[in-house]
Structure 1
Amino acid sequence: MPVTRRTLLAAGSAGLLISQAQAASTPGQQAENASKPIASGNVLRIAMPAFASNPFFPADGSGDNGIDLELAHGIAAALGVEPVFDRSAATFDDIVKQVSSGQADMAIGKLSRTLQRGRSIVYSRPYAMLRQGLIANRLNLARIAQGKPPEQIIRDFSGDLGVIEGSSFATYATTTFPHAQIRRLASWDLIIDAIRNGTIDMAYRDDFEIKKLMVDDPSMTVVARSITLTDKVDTIAIGVRPDDPHLAAFVDLYLDLARGQQVLNTDEIIARYRQGSKA
């Protein structure tokens, strides 16, 4: 079909009408988007594990103090909504699932960033950065090392390595220690008991939790040794549902403006934990 001047004029007129219609609707759409609340129903649904991880968050129903609870209340207040906590999750992975499925708007609970989790939720920028660490049964470690410095045998470690089921370290372990026999236990307490009695050789977690253990129970230094992996970090952030980019951007803005881009480290968190223990 030949293209005539009339055809071009008609096409141009149609395009102009479409552009005008789009332009006319844009202000209304912008106003609607601007008035739409970031959190629906005037509440912010927050997933947090049922167990305690002081000084980040206490056990379910035991109080409102903690780094993560303060963050949650602060973000909700800045949004002008009420925080509603779901403390039904048994593992860290469970709070990720609650967010990715839309049951919760955010997950706050000493949540480590991993690439696997990043496929289903949006992470904020980190508000805490820890080192990864190990705690080893001293006798087992001496047997495995056979006189070598422990640092030389760590990377090729092939013994029993304890991790918490549903934690980021259960994910990290398979790549960081590919030769190890990974033992997934339901809780940190069970892992520490296994370290004490020597049924597992080492356990893998962030260095804050390992140092906190030594603060709570100095007798652990008799049976166990801690090792910090200086080249491995564990970044802690807030998880946001993937279909709410405005909320994700607001959380980052809150961390920037209200918290001054503060990123807590292990020493600062340990100091807060010691202070809370004395209170």
Structure 2
Amino acid sequence: MCSFVLRIISVCLSLTIFFTAGPAWAAENLFIQRIQERGVLTVGLPAYNTPPAYYLNETSGDLEGYDIDIARGLAKELKVDIQFDRSSPDLNELVRRVGAGDFDLAIGKLGRTYDRMFDAFPVHYLDFRHALMANRSFISTLSEEPGSPEFAAVLEASTIRIGSIEKTIWEAETRDNFPNATFQGFPDWLAAQQALFDGEVDAIYRDMTEIKRLVYASPDLIIDYVPILFDDIVDQKSIYLSLDGSINFSPFIEFYISKEWGEVKTDSTILEEYMSFYSAT
């Protein structure tokens, strides 16, 4: 009888050890489990700053912005630390690298193109309309004026010289939306702006928030340059993942976006939420 009781106690102790061994957070989702075992969420981020989405606060030395908040929020829900990788030379390479598994996700107001979807898998979280800042002297050479029902078609068919950041979606978007245009890439957005002011290009191309920022910062720009908004051309800004991440991590991100971010936000929503930032630039 005593031996039988001891055997029962031994079995019970074994079961207790079996069911309680290992970390309390162990997940059945192996992609998430690997992140938790590592103790850090690795995030690919562009090398340059694009406030208020992502930028280095020169005073504190900390990364800030709404993309940074999303990444940190995901890490918090995973109960891990976060590590940002800003070593990618351009945005296309950033997307390629996350597709290859160099980090868990890539974020940074990344647009969606067919070429990028060859390399990685997007999770949609922003809708930003396209916009140009164009030289009025070029616009005056067109057969239609801004506001005319035919203006968009005439502009799109023109031989306009368009500048933006090199190796980003804007080269592909120029090719798709302005088939007769010439695209010139620049190392950063400031260089593209300077090219417009120097007459090297007729317009610069990016999303509406970036063109609006120029007007907020220098209202006198509209004397010589005209902002042009395309309501019907919308960029689906996305967080990018590898195949493994898309299968196993995208539901987690989508749930976080719907629960904490609230919705797929528009450029108008971002401008409204960050108006104090834009009006201060």
What interval of TM-score do these two structures reach, taking the shorter chain for normalisation? Answer: 0.7 to 0.9
What RMSD in Å do the two structures reach over aligned CA positions? 2.2
1:233-244 alignment, distance < 5 Å: 233-244=234-245
Aligned position for 1:121: 120
Does the aligned pair in 2 maintain the 1:44–1:105 contact within 8 Å?
A: yes
Partner amino acid for 2:168? S
Aligned position for 2:190: 189
Q: 1:103-152 CA distances to partner (integer Å, 9 max, x unpaired)?
A: 1110010111222211221111x221111111101112213x15655434
Aligned position for 2:260: 258
Deviation at 1:251, TM superposition (A): 1.0
Partner amino acid for 1:106? L
What is the count of residue pairs matched by the alignment?
245
Aligned position for 1:42: 39
Gaps of 5+ in 2: 1-25
Q: 1:147-191 CA distances to partner (integer Å, 9 max, x unpaired)?
A: 655434212021211121111111111111111111112211111
* Secondary structure of 1:130 counterpart: strand
Partner amino acid for 1:271? E
Does the aligned pair in 2 maintain the 1:52–1:60 contact within 8 Å?
A: no
Gaps of 5+ in 1: 1-31
Q: Relative to structure 2, which stretch is displaced further, 151-160 or 269-278?
A: 269-278
Does the aligned pair in 2 maintain the 1:158–1:181 contact within 8 Å?
A: yes
Aligned position for 1:249: 251
Q: 1:232-259 CA distances to partner (integer Å, 9 max, x unpaired)?
A: 0011121112223211221112112233
Does the aligned pair in 1 maintain the 2:195–2:201 contact within 8 Å?
A: yes
1:32-181 alignment, distance < 5 Å: 34=28, 36=30, 37=33, 39=35, 41-59=38-56, 62-124=61-123, 126-143=124-141, 145-146=142-143, 148-149=145-146, 150-181=151-182
Q: Does the C-alpha gap of structure 1 residues 158 and 78 become closer, same or farther in structure 2, counting only changes over 3 Å? A: same
Deviation at 1:100, TM superposition (A): 1.6
Partner amino acid for 2:257? L
Q: Does the C-alpha gap of structure 1 residues 154 and 41 become closer, same or farther in structure 2, counting only changes over 3 Å? A: same
Partner amino acid for 1:224? Y
Partner amino acid for 2:192? I
Does the aligned pair in 1 maintain the 2:75–2:82 contact within 8 Å?
A: yes
Give aligned-pair identity as a percent: 27
Deviation at 1:194, TM superposition (A): 1.5
Does the aligned pair in 2 maintain the 1:51–1:90 contact within 8 Å?
A: no
Q: Within the alignment, does 1:214 sit opposite 2:212 as a pair? A: no
